[in-house]
Amino acid sequence: MKGRAKRVKGSSRFTVLLVLLVGAFLVIAGRLTYLQAAAAPQFAERATDQRLRNIEIPPQRGAIYDREGEPLAVTTEACTVYAVPQSIDDPVGTSAAIASVLGTDPGEYVERLGTDSSFTYIARKLDMDHAAALKALDLHGVEFQEDSRRVYPSGELACQVLGFVGIDDEGLAGLEKQYEGLLAGTPGSLLAERDPFGRVIPDGVMQSIDAIDGQDIVLTIDKDIQYQAQVELSAAVEEWGAKSGSVLVMNPQNGEIYAMATVPGFNPNSFGSAEPYSYRNRPVTDVYEPGSTMKSLTAAAVIEEGLYGPEDMFELPSTITVADRTISESHSRPTVNWSLADIVINSSNVGSVMLGLELGEQRLYDYLDLFGMNDRTGVDYPGEGLGYLPPLEKWSGSTIGTIPFGQGISMTQLQLARALSAIANGGELPTPHFLRDLPETDDASLVWTLERVISEETARTTSSILERVVTTGTGGSASVPGYEVAGKTGTAQKARTDGQAGYAKDKYVASFSGYLPVADPQVLIIVSLDEPSNAIYGGTVAAPTFSSLAQFSVSHLKIPPTTSVDSAVETDLVVGSTDDGSVPTADADAEGR
């Protein structure tokens, strides 16, 4: 009996052990079944994610050319250098070697290379010479990837117009930003198997989708005129001790912009080291009170309405009072009898106020609205500013006395250029623009609208008056031998920026705006100097720069002379006029001497 009990007890142990073994095998089998069947896709995906790397292939950014095919912005070969810190045994030594080639501080890399990560950038968009020098060191764990970089071959040339791109080749400013959709292209991708250290496994799975390069664009900018504009403007800013300056050169017939510049500028190849204020393309983005340049628009409105002709006479007192504002000339004078033309030629504030009063508030407002003072120009450039024409319900009693000569209203330089173009070209507002052609797009239709605002007769009549501003009036320094020039001086006092009403003492914007040849204008130029300190009058400060740039432009564009050079007559300039200093509405317009 006892022996049998022992055998039964041993059998029980065997049974338990067998059950445990079978149970363990069932668990293992179940786990294997789960891993190989139910969970297989999940683990396969995780394994794939660990092995595969999806690398973006950047497209080549489209080039930017001037109107004659000269490159202004191009993309060149470059190399991005990165490291796999996990595979670097000597972070300090590797950092020192990298720094010796790149001319940087080794400490910049030591911490990054000493981590357990699988990726860190060393240098992005490195030039090929430095990349080759690094490759020659054969540093373990340092890898290289083909890349590209944006280069501006002419440095500061047209810097504010072109703008710049960021480290990822995305347009951040200027036309690089405006035409990002055309220039950028579409990235491709490369799917490849890599080991834990980031190295491509030979014959590993690889799938490639080609990048689509960006389109090239051709601008209306003329590289030579742009260069000359920057040279002339820089010289004027220095000569007259100005805070800054701006210039634009445009075809008034169709709105093509030949040049646009602001001083100070910057080098877009190293834009990060420049002051951000130098990025601003001020003729497009910044507004100012135009001063006496507005008198040409006031005169055009009076002529268009048929109120007066150029030779109709006015008795002009020495001052004129409108509501609570007494307005006088820049230099005291007795009562005179001047024609409408004389009012513009001599830049008379009193006469311009009388013209404005004849128009009345509604008609003056309507004509300035027609000339585009309430609208952006439609230029193909980001961040266009918009001037301010007070709505009629906000006019005070004296507003009708200040707006006719350019105070209490603001505009961008480009808004003014567009309005003057309508006088130059026979009465139509053009759309200023930078894009001239898309050479890779056969069916591209670039249409820039024209909008009629005054009659051809009014435009011709007003042009003849503006021509006399240069031959006998305040703009004599703007003359160009061999060509009839029309234009207008402006010397506008700047509004205060301290929160107080009125105008800042001794702070002016001096300008000259004009075009040539008068019979068939092909070049319109506006020159503005902000806060000149050595002189303030537009005829003195800005007109000579206009003359020099205009001479270069007509010669470069091969526009034939319209008069004999020998017939150019130097005339005594007539002293202009402005408000008196007793009230904060002083437009100290052009002496011209």
Backbone torsions φ then ψ of 567, nearest 5 degrees: -85, -5
Tokens of 352: 């311009």
- Angstrom distance (rounded) from CA 121 to CA 112: 9
Peptide bond into 283 cis (omega under 30): no
Nearest 5°: the CA angle 435, 436, 440 is: 95
For the chain, give the longest Cα–Cα distance. 152
Q: Could you confirm whether 548 is annotated as catalytic?
A: no
Tokens of 375: 């609208």
- Angstrom distance (rounded) from CA 459 to CA 261: 28
Q: What is the DSSP string of 49-102?
A: HHHEEEEEEPPPPPPEE-TTS-EEEEEEEEEEEEE-GGG-S-HHHHHHHHHHHH
Q: Which of 95, 154, 246, 292 is catalytic?
A: 292
- Angstrom distance (rounded) from CA 56 to CA 322: 68
Backbone torsions φ then ψ of 484, nearest 5 degrees: -80, 130
CA dist 435 → 18, 172, 255 (Å): 86, 18, 11
Q: What is the DSSP string of 449-493?
A: -EEE-S-HHHHHHHHHHHHHHHHTSTTGGG-BTTB--EEEEEEEE
Residue located via tokens 């065997």: 14
Our measurement of the distance from residue 459's CA atom to the centroid of its chain's CA atoms, rounded to an integer in Å, reads 31
- Angstrom distance (rounded) from CA 113 to CA 408: 62
- Angstrom distance (rounded) from CA 295 to CA 540: 19
CA dist 100 → 94, 107, 244, 423, 532 (Å): 10, 12, 41, 63, 48
Tokens of 273: 């080291």
Which residues are designated catalytic? Answer: 292
